[in-house]
Amino acid sequence: MAGYEALAERKPTRLKQKMRRFFGAWGVFFQGFVEHPVMVGSIIPSSRYTIRKMLRPVDWERCQLFVEYGPGVGTFCQPVLDRLPRDASLIVIDTNPLFIEYLNRTIHDSRFVAVHGSAEDVEEIVRAHGHEQADYVLSGLPFSTLPEGLGPRIAAATYRVIRPGGAFLTYQFSNAARNLTAQHFDRVDSGFEPLNILPCRLAWGWKRKPDAAASNG
């Protein structure tokens, strides 16, 4: 009886904590959208199905630096940290200080660095944190609503910062990110995730290794 009572006591508290955590992140995301609708581009974070499918082709054993653009409230951050080697790093870059402050408050992992800045400056940011290149770059940026010219500049900088053999991972409701990736990367694989609000298109842009380039003529 005492055990049951203790459990009954504990249940609502845990549920409340979970609910607070859940609505906390969504609340911050929604606030970010209301304040900067064009830059955020969505009112709901990505689903776990999108996260799983997007990260599947990553070779985690060979990943020393993973970069994410537009992490928002960190929907991808913990899943990436869960897969990342212990001596690797995750650098996330977002233009919205509200999101960076939220991430720094909620993610406590020595491999994690949250930078308030623009994806356009990825090369400088990566170097400032002691790295030459990134193995993978993941983007949640709303490419179709970004200011004119910014998308192509980000895609070009991303190609330069990724090591040969690495990849640029994008997910978006439209084909804008995939099309941009195709203009800058050597090979693009495409995917689709219906279990997301809204259903979204996934793309993996691969940077060819020099030996592969030579053997292809």
Ligand X SMILES: C[S@@+](CC[C@H](N)C(=O)[O-])C[C@H]1O[C@@H](n2cnc3c(N)ncnc32)[C@H](O)[C@@H]1O
Which residues lie near ligand X (CB under 6 A)? 39-42, 45-46, 69-72, 75-76, 93-96, 99, 118-120, 140-142
Residue 25 DSSP label: H
Are the C-beta atoms of 99 and 134 separated by less than 8 Å?
Answer: no
Q: Taking the complex as a whole, how short is the minimal distance between the CB of residue 42 and ligand X, in angstroms?
A: 4
> Please, which residue, 57 or 79, has the CB nearer to ligand X?
79
SS3 state at 188:
strand
3-state SS track over 97-138: HHHHHHHHHHCCCCCEEEEECCHHHHHHHHHHCCCCCEEEEE
How far is residue 23 from each of residues 28, 73, 127, 141, measured CA to CA in Å? 8, 11, 36, 22
Q: Which is nearer to ligand X, 41 or 205 (CB)?
A: 41
Nearer to ligand X, 141 or 161 (CB): 141
Cβ-closest position to ligand X: 70
Q: Cβ 40 to ligand X, closest distance in Å? A: 4
CB of 10 to ligand X, least distance (A): 31
Closer residue to ligand X, CB minimum distance, 118 or 179:
118
